[in-house]
Amino acid sequence: MDILSFFGTLLWPIKWVIEAILVAFHTLLTSVGLDPAAGITWVLSIVGLVLVVRAALIPIFVRQIKSQRRMLEVAPQLKKIQDKYKGKKDQFSREAMSRETMELYRKTGTNPLSSCLPLLLQMPIFFGLFSVLNDAQHSKVGVGLLNEQLSSQFANAEILGAPLRLAISTADGNATVIIIAAVMVVLMTASQFITQLQIMSKNQSAEMKASPMYRQQRILLYLLPLVFAFSGFTFPLGVMTYWLVSNFWTMGQQFLVIRNMPTPGSEAALAREARLAKRNQRKGIVEEDKTGGTVVVEEPKNVQRQQPLSKNRAKKQNKK
Amino acid sequence: MTRALAFVVLLPRNVCVAILTVYRAVISPLYGDVCRYYPSCSHYTLQAIQQHGVVRGVWLGTRRIARCHPWAEGGVDDVPARTHDRYRVTRSGFVVASSHGKG
């Protein structure tokens, strides 16, 4: 068995589900009165697909946010580890530091990382959609609910005169396709930038900003446009639409989380406290402790231990 | 002679090492640090292939990726150790015959 047909077999169930969701949205939209062959109907079907997939991934995201909130409890221990390896940049120290950090996360159940499962789950969906569109382009019938008529409609669906199945590489000089793909690449880059900058500049505590990981992330941010430019060149507009809408979802999700449940100790948390205080003032509420159970308001922690004073000294200090 | 033999025997695992090294340098940084374990899944698989060969290494790596999901505990999880002095790992990660030529 060659490798392509092996992947084809693996993708079969995913393609089936993707087609089912697409066709379901398409039927729904047609029954509302949209033209079944129009580009907008198919674009909205792709948007529907994004909504279903991303909504299914919400529980994973919520879990990640929850453990990030609990990070506050282990912040002092984390600081201790960071201080221990401060200024040691050799490979062995950094390895030992990662080891200790991971062990701390495990012991306290505060691992803020989400594993690559969300990505792994989305990857086949992405390639499944790619292959559905690709098949439609070569007027092949889908594997499931996408019958001949629907598949040819999908293949010929156009957005502002650009067929959804084309990419820059297959556009054959079709200027509309190239322009739309370029606009999508720009939008994708912009949304990714906004999401990342939001997280990095607003939602990270000062300690995290000092870590080498933060700097690494910053560099990556400037590599992303290249990746998106490449994908705009390779992937058909339909796949790009999926990716773009998915990016917009991430941006909105991130915005809501940062606004309503910011990382304790970050800029966004201070902004939220200020906002709440202002609102309470406007409403004439004097009581400050109305933030509710879901929000963790950071208390200023006194890290330095207060030295016990002898009786005499305490007296002297009180006199001052 | 033994050297040539070792090169042939070790070729599959060095090909895998090369693929994984490229992946870790180019693709992995794109989505940043997400692994709940130390070493990360790709680093784990790399070490497993270096120490146990392609078949066992890929098997160990696959099991590790299956273990790594948002509900997993995470933490430190090393490749099961195997003591052999037949091979050694170069600085770039490739496996070669030990220089003292025991094998």
Cβ pair A102:B38 closer than 8 A: yes
Burial A190-210 (b: 16+ CB within 10 A, else e): ebbeebbebbeebbbbeebee
Predicted-assembly ipTM surpassing the 0.85 threshold: no
Residue A306 sits at φ, ψ, to 5 deg, of -75, 125
Predicted pLDDT of residue A240: 86
Q: How confident is the model at residue A299 (pLDDT cuts 50, 70, 90)?
A: low
Q: How confident is the model at residue A289 (pLDDT cuts 50, 70, 90)?
A: very low
Q: In whole angstroms, what is the distance from residue A45 CA to residue A145 CA?
A: 14
Q: How confident is the model at residue A1 (pLDDT cuts 50, 70, 90)?
A: very low
Query: A-chain residues within 8 Å CB-CB of B23?
Result: none
Q: CB count, 10 Å around CB of B29?
A: 14
Nearest-Cα residue of chain B relative to residue A213: B33
Predicted pLDDT of residue A220: 67
- Determine the distance in angstroms separating the CA of A116 from the nearest CA of chain B, rounded to an integer: 6
Task: Among A30-44, A73-87, A140-154, B53-67, name the one with the lowest average pLDDT.
Answer: A140-154
Task: Give pLDDT tens digits for A210-230.
Answer: 655 566 666 667 777 787 888
Q: In whole angstroms, what is the distance from residue A157 CA to residue A71 CA?
A: 48
Cβ pair B76:A106 closer than 8 A: yes
Cβ pair B75:A105 closer than 8 A: yes
Give, in degrees to the nearest 5, the angle at Cα A217 between A214 and A223. 155
Q: How confident is the model at residue A202 (pLDDT cuts 50, 70, 90)?
A: low
Structural domain boundaries in chain A = 9-272
Give the mutation candidate from A108, A117, A200, A227 for the B interface (greatest B CB count, under 10 A).
A117
Residues 102-121 of A with CB under 8 A from B: 102-103, 105-107, 109, 111, 113-120
- Determine the distance in angstroms separating the CA of A218 from the nearest CA of chain B, rounded to an integer: 11
Q: How confident is the model at residue A298 (pLDDT cuts 50, 70, 90)?
A: low
- What would the two tokens of residue A118 be? 């969300």
Q: In whole angstroms, what is the distance from residue A115 CA to residue A67 CA?
A: 13
Query: B-chain residues within 8 Å CB-CB of A60?
Result: 70
Q: A269 burial class (0-12, 13-18, 19+ CB within 10 angstroms)?
A: buried
Predicted pLDDT of residue B55: 92
Could you tell me which residue, B54 or A263, shows the higher pLDDT? B54
Could you tell me which residue, A238 or B86, shows the higher pLDDT? A238
- What would the two tokens of residue A57 be? 């991934």
Query: A-chain residues within 8 Å CB-CB of B68?
Result: 115-117
Of the candidates B29, B37, B68, the beta carbon closest to that of A102 is on: B37
Report the share of chain A in percent with pLDDT over 90: 2
Is the model's pLDDT at A77 over the cut of 60? yes
Task: Among A110-119, A139-148, A184-193, B54-63, name the one with the lowest average pLDDT.
Answer: A139-148
Predicted pLDDT of residue A318: 62
Give, in degrees to the nearest 5, the angle at Cα A269 between A76 and A72. 20
Predicted pLDDT of residue A104: 87
> pTM for this structure?
0.69
Task: Calculate the CA A46 to chain-centre distance.
Answer: 19
Is the model's pLDDT at A61 over the cut of 70? yes
Give the mutation candidate from B30, B42, B69 for the A interface (greatest A CB count, under 10 A).
B69
Residues of chain B with pLDDT below 70 are 29-32, 83-85, 99-103
Q: How confident is the model at residue A137 (pLDDT cuts 50, 70, 90)?
A: low
**What residue type is A270 in one-letter code?**
L
